[in-house]
Every structure is written in C-alpha cells, then in structure tokens.
Structure 1
C-alpha cells in the first residue's frame, strides 16, 4: 500500500510471523467478527493517511478475497501479507511502496516522529523515544533517519530472519 497512491499488499507483506499477521488482521477487523469488510479496509487505509477511492478499495478486495465472499478472512489476509495476492509485483516496487507509507513528508527518509505517527495509527503503544531507538538500530549512516537503502536492508534482514 502506498501512502500517496494506490495501496496494495506491499505495506503489509513484510509481516513475518503468524502472531504479527493475526495482530494486524485484528486491527483491520474493527468489529471483531473474524473478517475484514470493505468498510473496515477503507477505514484503516484512511487512518494510515492514504487517500484511496472506493473503486481502489473495491479492486483491493477483489485481489485479496480469493473465495469471493465479499470479506477478507485470516487466511486470505495472510496470503496478502506474504505477497501471494499479486505475484507479478516486483520486490523493489513493493519495498518502495512500503517505505512511502512511513515516509509521510516524502523527503526520502523516515524519522522517529513519522514512525511514531504510523505505529500510533496502527494501535501500537510506543513513544517517540522508542521509535528513535528502532530507527537507530537500522541507521547505518548515523543521521537519525532511515533512508530507502537502509529500509531495504532492514526488510532483507527481516525476511532472512523469518526464513
């Protein structure tokens, strides 16, 4: 999901384990009925700062809802997070779109404040200082931000750890 254009599976595809996928699913499933509706999907995307049209949300639902019941269940969501919903997307494009979700001011780097904003919108309870610590763990050039290259390395390390 890109922050400024059409979201897709990329923002979530780096969820690495079942607990993370289930936790994210539960955030999307705001009424707790075990499935994500179009309204719930749209609401979360808007909370993340994405300006997405109803048509784009409908396209996402078609892409993810493999059993075509009008809702996204946990299994479909997990496949979506693994990138199975759209096997033709390039990995570089997906990582770039994920990066853009966090890079709220589109300056090419993720600050602790930006990370805090997104994590807070997703229901995480962390401080800006906590986010600064997360940033520092991947900030190879010591500038206090995560650049796109650093973000790619972070995603690669995360994917390797899960494999």
Structure 2
C-alpha cells in the first residue's frame, strides 16, 4: 500500500502488510497512548514523507476530523487504517488523472491553435492511424459524437475522461 500526502507534490511510502500498518501507527503515535493526534499526524507526515509533503496544522486537523469516526478528536488504529486507505485511493485517482492527461495530450489537436486542447476528428484519426487502426474522418466524427456533451464537434478533457471511464 502507498500513502500519499495530500499536497500537490507526490510523495509516498509503501505499506505492504497489516503489520507494517501497525508499525506505522506506532511510529505516528509519538506518546504511545494508542491514539494519534493532529499534531502527531502532522509531525510524522513531515518526518516520514519529507518537508515538501508537510501539511499545515489545519490540514492535519481536517485529516483527523475526516477519519475520526468516534468524534474524540484522535485516531485509533482502525481510524488510522481508514485514513491510510483513503489517502491511497486519492493517490491512485491522482495517478489516473495524470495518465488521462498524458493520453489526452497524445490525441488532442496541436496544429490548429483554434482547436488546441481538444480532440478533433482529424487528430483522433491521426492517432488511431499511428496505433494501426485506420478510420476515416467520418468514423472518427461519429466516435466523438457519442461523448461530445456540448455538441461542439470536439472532445474536451472532461468529455475525454467520461469516454475513458465508459470504456
């Protein structure tokens, strides 16, 4: 399992078993009271993930509040495990978004400034041809039409994401 800091920079640590999660919990629980406070979470995230992934006191409090099922303002082992799982999921979604951005860039129009940042029937045809799938522009126009929500004849990044999630 990978834990990512909730920041714009990608930093992670690997957790491959529940015993490692238990060890991580113990490391974060600086006063060994069986619960992690927002300040302990903040300090250990900085120490574990590096200064570039440090969270503010407010962010640490928000993370604790979000995962704190019993409302005591502290994280027990189960609440900490849920927080780690959520951060892992967020990191996966961030990676998927980056991958979709890269793929979108490969398909999008770059030669015509008027349509830059969009997938046009012509740019889709060119990319499919590079991949060995030869479609004419009308076939590409039909493919785009299925996901062209605003009817402008091209796919924006948001429309591309919908198309990729439907696949």
Using structure 2 for the length normalisation, give the TM-score. Answer: 0.45
Higher relative CO (Cα under 8 Å, sequence separation at least 6) belongs to: 1
Answer 1 or 2: which has greater helix percent: 2
